[in-house]
Amino acid sequence: MNPSPQEQPILVVDRLVTEFRIRGRWWPAVRDVSFSLARNETLALVGESGCGKSVTALSIMGLVPSPQGRIASGRILVDGRDLVGLPEHELEHVRGDRVAMVFQEPMSSLNPVLTIGFQVAESLRYHRGLSGRDADTAALALLDEVKIPSARQRFNDYPHQFSGGMRQRVMIAMALACQPDVLLADEPTTALDVTIQAQVLALLDELKRAHGMAVLFITHNLGVVANIADRVAVMYAGEIVELASAEAIFDRPTHPYTEALFSAIPRVDRAVDTLHAIPGQVPPVDRMPRGCRFAPRCALREPRCTASDPVLAPIAGESAHWARCTVRAPAIDVVA
């Protein structure tokens, strides 16, 4: 198990392996991923597109597409209850109730032929058994809580009548309808301008504190992470390669991939020529390199990097800061 917050965790992901079938063989898109999350805590899961962040969230929600995808092993515990292997009818009572998700693109997640109010109220009718009138009253209160202007007048509007930022607020209202213990936010600020991004981030943080939720925030934007995360898990090619507090990640990035992500962030206080793109791309799941998966793109690679698989282990002297690197974290043992 990887390190967990001192407070009793509400969500524990333990050695999760999620696979997809490609040309008749099963390949892991998420491999041996472990982390935990306490109430009123935000863990940011960061990395490039294709690193397995969204697959991790879909695994927690029990939404890995079947039959081409499956959770091959591991546990997903919500308040001590393992969700892996639960029948679909039991998972339906968990999704949207104990665990909720804000999806990346609200326009494709909202039903275009149903009103906003109906969609927010739907989970209240299903999970809480509220009557139509009571569900509508509660849904209206949620739209007010996420700061939809003139919520009463817009209650019967359709998704296409809302801007991108307002649609994202509607998605947040839907996710919060049953006051979940765990909220998964999959790049909720993608495609929003900077001002709207800041508003959505502030709203999520405010709602987390108000409801005492645990939040898993998925993003590729480290600038966003600085404003919202308590801890950060850096993911690459289906594995967590670094895990620490947000302060430690920003002050002392250890894994070369984490450092490369920081080097690729444009900053107003640095010259343009200090911006460095990461060479190459994330390998596809069916063509993963031997040993360290980042080694082919890493300027610090050594022969030992491809000889064996590095394990995620504490950095010497820092029990709460973990990394998966034999060069930058020499105290880490390796396994074949």
Which regions of the chain carry the CATH code 3.40.50.300? 9-98+180-335
Rounded Cα distance, 70 and 59, in Å: 8
**In terms of CATH, what superfamily is 9-98+180-335?**
P-loop containing nucleotide triphosphate hydrolases (3.40.50.300)
Q: Are 202 and 226 in contact (CB under 8 A)?
A: no
Predicted confidence (pLDDT) per residue in 196-249, tens digit: 888 888 888 888 988 899 999 999 888 888 888 999 999 999 999 999 999 999
Beta-carbon contacts of 29 under 8 Å, excluding residues fewer than 6 positions away, are: 18, 19, 20, 52, 55, 69, 238, 285
Q: Are 237 and 282 in contact (CB under 8 A)?
A: yes
The pTM assigned to this predicted structure is 0.89
Predicted confidence (pLDDT) per residue in 269-304, tens digit: 666 666 678 889 999 999 999 999 999 999 899 999
Strand order in the sheet with 42-46: 99-102, 182-186, 214-219, 42-46, 231-236, 239-245, 318-323, 313-315
β partners of residue 273: none
- 62 phi and psi angles, rounded to 5 deg: 70, 35
